[in-house]
Structure 1
Amino acid sequence: MFAEERLTNVATPLWRFSYGEQLKVKSESQKKVLQTLASHLRELGTDKLEITQRPDGLCCSLRTVVPSPVVNGYRNKSTFSVNRGPDGNPKTVGLWQRNIVCVRANHLENMPKKHKQVAQCYEEFLQQSPLDPCLLFHQGGHWRELTVRTNSSGHTMAIITFHPQDLSQLLCGEPYIFEEVLGLKFCISPDAFFQINTAGAEVLYQTVGKLSRADKNTVLLDVCCGTGAIGVSLAHQASKVVGVELVEQAVEDARWNAAFNGVRKEFKILCILQQWIS
């Protein structure tokens, strides 16, 4: 039980507080960061700038944290390691702690039940497998990691990291998972980034859209755009959305997502750079 509580403290450090209290803690943390930044600006001789003359000591205005409509079981992606558990079992599927002990995550409230079920099934499978886990690459072994993705429709994607990597990429099922955000449909590949909290992402995109005040004279730059969810969601407001991404598969997802959701696009690829014109 001690190991589980220690994992909870690491994975969800504010779990003892109510959600409202958590938001207050995060807001105070952000306030301290901005106060520190303002102090550094004054030290650099920029004290005459208006941003450092605010009565609250901040370098800019700090808005109230926008709460997520979902606070429990919200994760649409969870990554589990395979390593030695508190009982010494080398095929334990869970999350690492500092002393490299792998603890099952069944008690974490931010993780949905489906993710925990897949992790449990994976561990049961490993117990029956004659192959050893790959705890350290130079020591050999095979079973390495499990990533689970789910969407709001209840579909599940399981991504297994196996060493050596000489198997075909897709073992069974579909190669992608799809999610809907603000009435738009997004294709998500195993390695592509997508916001962990889907409901929270909708609030985020709407808030960014309002604060940016983007219009037909605006070019929006989406750095590390992943599947292009933010850019595609805001494309109707701006004249152009430029997305920059390093993961090639995510770029392909972003292209498909832009086309499928009716965003007219022209591609200028330099390294891996994508440009959409709405």
Structure 2
Amino acid sequence: MARKRKIIDRIEVQDFAAEGKCIAKHEGEVIFILTPNIAPGDVVKLQINRKRKSFSEAIVLERLEPSPMRIEPFCSHFGVCGGCKWQHIPYETQLKQKEKQVIDQLERLGRLEVGEKRPILGSANTQYYRNKLEFTFSNSRWLTADEIRSEEEMNKNALGFHIPKRFEKVLPIAHCYLQADPSNAIRLFFQSYADKSAEPYYDHVKHEGFFRNIMIRTASTGEIMVVVQFAENDKKKIEDCLSAFVQAFPKVHSVNYFINQKRNDSYQDLEPVCVHGKPYIEEEMEGLRFRIGVKSFYQTNSDQAYELYKITREMADIQPEDIVYDLYTGTGTIANFVAKRAKKVVGVEYVEAAIEDAKVNSEINGIDNTSFYAGNMKDVLNEAFLEKEGRPDIVITDPPRAGMDKEVVEMLLKIRAKRIVYVSCNAATQARDIKLMSDYYRVSSVRPVDMFPHTHHVENVALLELN
């Protein structure tokens, strides 16, 4: 017999927790609320789904009274789409929570002493701020409760976003507030073309169909790239589709496609085909041009990326004779951005294609004091490498969400650069790594940067200085 779950008929949500969750307290116990779109001040009915030693996890069965802090979401897809989950929270409140989240992770989780706590840098644009979006074709769109009850035949095709935790279900998007025009118009063109062509939308269970995915990239320079994934290698159908698109959008700078017959949408191991324009677009920052290819990584909020890099450069305080290491350099954006202030900048990244992009970005900008290496960070960064390139005076590190490998941290402790600037999209793993270095380094200054309004995600820049 299934165990009966505890119901709390009425309780007020007290505060935010990490990762966008909220918390309440009942009879001295902390309850983490897993249901999205909840706000402190909401009065709710809860069901306890899991009880731990020091806390419980619950879902909301009913919202009884709205929080006074709630605002009206601006997007009609709010609550179903997996993005922009904090639209019901005022932006200033979002910023305060992100700032608090960063400091809590460093001080409470990492048990670190933080020096200067600089205020979070909010995003000037809270809508249409992304430079990259991907939309998925599916023959199994998300249905409303009324549609499920209906016995009428309906079109189940959709072009939009995957429903969270339902890989086969896609929510059709009428208008997305994440990427500026002509993003919505481009998406609607492909939806209309696919419907008229009668070629099948992709079936994510059977892994068959024709139209699979589109990616739209934009740049601060005004350049636009479109990449389409087709699941069938029918050259005539592909040519007809993309020719019609170019005719409708002649000012798009780069049109490319992949043939993807795998069981997932990843494309790093596939070869793109450029059918119109050039195989890249360009970003611009302080007169530097950065080529963004089909597979290139670039921060998805261009305006805030510039602010993030300026803060990183300021904290690094690079002097003309300094050797700088840029770990997890990606396409070398930070390395090239700070190069003119340094004697030499060395970038290391595990993705070979990204390193090739980094070299090109140095070349096209006339930067001759950079060198880039591809390989596993913990393998590349050894004594022989240090002897060849010189021991760094300053280290900039911007690892993925999982943080740095322990071996990399141990090497940084051996190097003992005078300053480490640690850029992170996950303050929890950042705190863990900094704690491992706390015998030798102090956290002199931190500054969070909001790259993703209406989400719980936040970047943080921390300056570590030798004790």
Please, which moves more after superposition, 147-156 or 61-70? 61-70
Question: What is the letter of the counterpart of residue 65 of structure 1?
Answer: I
Cα distance, 1:181–1:91 mapped onto 2, change above 3 Å: farther
Q: How much has 1:221 moved relative to structure 2?
A: 2.9
Tell me, yes or no, if the aligned pair for 1:224 and 1:246 is still in contact at 8 Å. Answer: yes
Q: How much has 1:270 moved relative to structure 2?
A: 5.2
Cα distance, 1:131–1:68 mapped onto 2, change above 3 Å: same
The TM-score, its normalising length taken from structure 2, stands at: 0.50
Q: How much has 1:136 moved relative to structure 2?
A: 2.7
Higher RCO structure (Cα 8 Å, ≥6 apart) = 2
Q: Does 1:4 align with 2:77?
A: yes
Tell me, yes or no, if the aligned pair for 1:175 and 1:189 is still in contact at 8 Å. Answer: yes
Cα distance, 1:248–1:125 mapped onto 2, change above 3 Å: farther
Distance 1:183 1:199 in 2: 14
Q: How much has 1:78 moved relative to structure 2?
A: 0.7
Question: What is the letter of the counterpart of residue 347 of structure 2?
Answer: G
Tell me, yes or no, if the aligned pair for 1:132 and 1:142 is still in contact at 8 Å. Answer: yes
Cα distance, 1:162–1:103 mapped onto 2, change above 3 Å: same
Greater share of strand residues, 1 or 2? 2
Q: How much has 1:150 moved relative to structure 2?
A: 0.9
Corresponding residue of 1:26: 98
Distance 2:272 2:314 in 1: 44
Tell me, yes or no, if the aligned pair for 1:184 and 1:261 is still in contact at 8 Å. Answer: yes
Partner residue of 1:96 out of 141, 149, 162: 162
Tell me, yes or no, if the aligned pair for 1:148 and 1:156 is still in contact at 8 Å. Answer: yes
Corresponding residue of 1:69: 124
Tell me, yes or no, if the aligned pair for 1:263 and 1:276 is still in contact at 8 Å. Answer: no
Question: What is the letter of the counterpart of residue 183 of structure 1?
Answer: G
Distance 1:69 1:108 in 2: 18
Greater share of helix residues, 1 or 2? 1
Corresponding residue of 1:44: none
Tell me, yes or no, if the aligned pair for 1:265 and 1:276 is still in contact at 8 Å. Answer: no
Structure 1 stretches lacking a partner, 5+ long:
40-50, 53-58
Corresponding residue of 1:207: 311
Tell me, yes or no, if the aligned pair for 1:266 and 1:276 is still in contact at 8 Å. Answer: no
Corresponding residue of 1:86: 142
Q: Percent identity?
A: 25
Distance 2:310 2:374 in 1: 30
Q: How much has 1:96 moved relative to structure 2?
A: 1.0
Distance 2:334 2:272 in 1: 32
Corresponding residue of 2:323: 219
Q: How much has 1:276 moved relative to structure 2?
A: 10
The TM-score, its normalising length taken from structure 1, stands at: 0.80
Question: What is the letter of the counterpart of residue 210 of structure 2?
Answer: H
Question: What is the letter of the counterpart of residue 238 of structure 1?
Answer: A
Please, which moves more after superposition, 134-143 or 124-133? 134-143
Corresponding residue of 2:44: none
Write the deviation string for residues 82-114 of structure 1: whole angstroms up to 9, x where unpaired.
122235645311111123432234444332232
Question: What is the letter of the counterpart of residue 114 of structure 1?
Answer: P
Tell me, yes or no, if the aligned pair for 1:189 and 1:250 is still in contact at 8 Å. Answer: no
Please, which moves more after superposition, 111-120 or 196-205? 111-120
Corresponding residue of 1:172: 276
Which has the higher Rg, Structure 1 or Structure 2? 2
Please, which moves more after superposition, 111-120 or 215-224? 215-224
Aligned to 2:135, the other structure's residue is in SS state: strand
Q: How much has 1:257 moved relative to structure 2?
A: 1.1
Aligned to 1:192, the other structure's residue is in SS state: coil
Question: What is the letter of the counterpart of residue 281 of structure 2?
Answer: I
Q: How much has 1:119 moved relative to structure 2?
A: 1.1
Cα distance, 1:225–1:117 mapped onto 2, change above 3 Å: farther
After TM superposition, list the pairs within 5 Å mapping 1:142-221 onto structure 2: 142-164=210-232, 165=259, 169-221=273-325
Corresponding residue of 1:56: none
Corresponding residue of 2:339: 235
CA RMSD of aligned residues (A): 3.0
Q: How much has 1:16 moved relative to structure 2?
A: 2.3
Aligned to 1:6, the other structure's residue is in SS state: coil
Tell me, yes or no, if the aligned pair for 1:76 and 1:198 is still in contact at 8 Å. Answer: yes
Tell me, yes or no, if the aligned pair for 2:132 and 2:215 is still in contact at 8 Å. Answer: yes
Question: What is the letter of the counterpart of residue 157 of structure 2?
Answer: K
Corresponding residue of 1:112: 180
Q: How much has 1:243 moved relative to structure 2?
A: 1.9
Q: How much has 1:75 moved relative to structure 2?
A: 0.8
Cα distance, 1:38–1:86 mapped onto 2, change above 3 Å: closer
Cα distance, 1:270–1:245 mapped onto 2, change above 3 Å: closer
Distance 2:353 2:372 in 1: 17
Aligned to 1:93, the other structure's residue is in SS state: strand
Structure 2 stretches lacking a partner, 5+ long:
1-72, 144-153, 233-258, 261-270, 381-387, 391-467
